[in-house]
Amino acid sequence: MQAIYDIPAPAKLNLFLHITGRRADGYHLLQSAFMLIDWCDQLHFELRTDGGISREDLTWTLPEDDLCLRAAKALQSASGCKLGVHIGIAKSVPAQAGMGGGSSDAASTLLALNRLWNLAWTQAQLAAIGLQLGADVPFFLLGQHAWVEGVGERLTPIDLPSGRFAVLKPDAGLDTRSVFAHPMLERNTGLAIISGFAANPYGFGRNDLQPVAELLCPAVGQSLAWFDGQGLPARMTGSGSAVFAPLAADTQLQVAPGNMALRVCNSLEAHPLQGWC
């Protein structure tokens, strides 16, 4: 095997996000439900026999040491593999949106290189590397919707009904650290249980980061107001600036404001690479 092309890296939506406390080390404790959606980046991997690891940006320019490169280097180091790779990244999922784009790219990179380099590592082995790269990476390696707890490392697979969603992303993004560090962030939401969520998965709870996000990024409030004007209950996903709302089959959307990207997405039954370990 010399190359693997057109590897998908799907985004996620946080159906809710509750902050339930804060550890002594500063990390926040949370509860959330992560849902995979069909908004995907596309990655391409070409084998290098010289051990080098390189990257080509096929859409917009990424940071010099993005999560894909970091994932490849971490796996190479941990496995002792002498092979390398050239990675092509065609981004579609926006940055600082709360949709896990970079983490998903890293997870798909680990899964693809596990095959390209013939490592035969297990999901648990890859997840141990993934957690060092970002809290969301193990979720994308899990390969299915999940109930998420702790600092994001405790994952319980869940089933969700098929859903269709409008996702609105303003030009402005949100820095995760700024949101979590804000003094007005509420950090004491009571613990929820999966059965309570399952009774109303697309209307359960709230995003505790949203009030702070609206203060830091007025475009979040503008996005919410756009949905409200159409009678659609919307909320922010994750710690980014994207806002989403469930859609009925016959919902007709208004034209989005010119400085915002609107996309209609569907939930996925499973990650396209599920079973690659």
CATH fold for domain 164-266 = Alpha-Beta Plaits (3.30.70)
Give me the amino acid identity at 34: F
State the pLDDT at residue 249. Answer: 87
Q: Does the annotation count 12 as an active-site position?
A: yes
pTM to 2 decimal places: 0.96
Report the run of H or E that residue 73 belongs to, with start and end.
helix 67-79
CA distances from 32 to 77, 84, 122, 146, 210 (A): 32, 36, 25, 8, 14
How, if at all, do strands 84-90 and 164-170 pair? unpaired
- Maximum CA pair distance of the chain? 57
Residue recorded with tokens 């710690």: 239
Give me the amino acid identity at 190: G
State the pLDDT at residue 75. Answer: 98
The arithmetic mean of pLDDT across residues 6-17, rounded, is 98
pLDDT (tens digit, 9 = 90+) per residue, 98-147?
Answer: 999 999 999 999 999 999 999 999 999 999 999 999 989 999 999 999 99
Beta bridge partners of 264: 166
CATH number for the domain running over 3-157: 3.30.230.10
Extents of the domains making up the chain:
3-157, 164-266
Phi, psi of 113 (to 5 degrees): -70, -30
pLDDT (tens digit, 9 = 90+) per residue, 138-152?
Answer: 999 999 999 999 988
Q: Does the annotation count 91 as an active-site position?
A: no
Nearest to 97 by CA among 209, 22, 186: 209
The arithmetic mean of pLDDT across residues 74-86, rounded, is 98
State the pLDDT at residue 257. Answer: 86
What's the rounded Cα separation, in Å, for the pair 133 and 120? 20
CA distances from 145 to 54, 67, 77, 101, 268 (A): 31, 22, 30, 16, 9
Choice among 41, 105, 136, 208 that is catalytic: 136
Q: What is the four-CA torsion angle of 146, 148, 151, 153, rounded to 10 degrees?
A: -40
